[in-house]
Structure 1
Amino acid sequence: MNDLEQLETWATPLIAALAPSARSKLLQALAVDLRRSQQRRIAQQRNPDGSVYAPRKPQREDRAGRIRRGAMFRRIRMARHLRATSNADGLRVGYAGRVARIARVHQEGGIDIAKRGGASIRYARRQLLGFNEKDRELVQSWLLNHLSQTAPLPR
């Protein structure tokens, strides 16, 4: 059983005990916090295990060369692309549409065409989204903090 499954087993009964409206509020706040965590990690150019992303392949200098020298995934980590959604049943942090395809190619290290009519390119595996120990601790602290505030005081 991996960390995510253990956390889910531990958290599911606690979250299920909440009213649907309280559950929705908690999960939305948690989704936003998890998205921020993912954004920070992508900005640091690190995989969930802490290793550094594989470097870019050398590019030919041209007008677009200035874009290639910056950090990878600058725009893909913005909140308008990296979505955090939730409802009373669960939460989701991920990509949608064309950005999801780009993210999936990098996440899995797949093959894609960089520009229309261009050659196929094999991209190195760079895990954009992932769950690490810090994220697990974040979820636990959120749940414990929320439940301790909403729990009735003992008499």
Structure 2
Amino acid sequence: MADDLSALEDWACTLLNQLQPKERSQLNTRIARELRRSQQQRMAAQRNPDGTAYAPRKARAQLRQKQGRIKRKMFTKLRQARYLKLQSTANTIAIGFVGRTARIARTHQYGLRDRPSKSSPDTRYNRRELLGFSSDDLNMVRTSLLNHLAEWSP
């Protein structure tokens, strides 16, 4: 995947250098929004960037469970635009989490240890890649770049 990303970067670099900084900034903002939307949709579908399903939650020990209860999906609030921030300039695009949500996301992204609450012991979390490039994301970046360059003619 990293090879595909570097190949896309090499290919697009010469084309992007022909654009003015304002046009590059607008293009980067549009691409960043589309990337954030695709990351949010992938988190809602509970999928890793390679298409595999997230590791299921661990079963909680309860005395009685409600029958017919709808299971909640993971990361419902974390995928909101309020927490999933984007920054774009003429040269860069950054999508990520900030503050306490970044700590939670990092724990799941890399499968680290954390305490769910102050009184609970350390727990090892399964790896669930919240952010990452899929092949569809790379194709989306490529097509949006080509569409923008097709509209822009020097």
Query: What TM-score results when the alignment is normalised by the length of structure 2?
Result: 0.91
Please name the residue that 2:35 is paired with: 34
Deviation of 1:93 after TM superposition, in Å, equals 1.0
How do residues 35-74 of structure 1 correspond to structure 2 at under 5 angstroms?
35-61=36-62, 69-74=71-76
Match of 2:126 in 1: 124
SS across alignment from 2:82: coil
Per the TM alignment, residue 86 of structure 1 is displaced from its structure 2 partner at its CA by 0.1
Give unmatched runs, 5+ long, in structure 1.
none
Q: What CA distance in whole angstroms lies between the structure 2 residues aligned with 1:115 and 1:131?
A: 31
Please name the residue that 2:109 is paired with. Answer: 107
CA drift of 1:12 comes to: 1.7
Runs of 5+ unmatched residues, structure 2? none
Deviation sequence 1:83-142 (CA, Å, 0-9, x none): 121011111111111111110110000101111232100000000001011001000000
Read off the aligned partner of 1:104 and give its amino acid letter.
Answer: R
Q: CA deviation at 1:69?
A: 2.9
Aligned length: 149
Q: Distance in 2 between matches of 1:13 and 1:103?
A: 34
In the alignment, which residue of structure 2 is the partner of 1:98?
100
Large movers: runs of 4+ above 6 Å: none
Cα 1:16–1:61 change in 2 (3 A) is farther
* Alignment match, 1:146: 148
Stretch deviating more after TM superposition (72-81 or 10-19): 10-19
Alignment TM-score, normalising by the size of structure 1: 0.91
Look up the match of 2:82. Answer: 80
Measured against aligned partners, the alpha-carbon deviations of 1:18-58 in whole angstroms (never above 9, x if no partner) come to: 10101111000110000000000000000000000000000
Give the CA deviation at 1:61.
Answer: 3.6
Name the counterpart of 1:19: 20
Across the aligned residues of Structure 1 and Structure 2, the Cα RMSD in angstroms comes to: 1.8
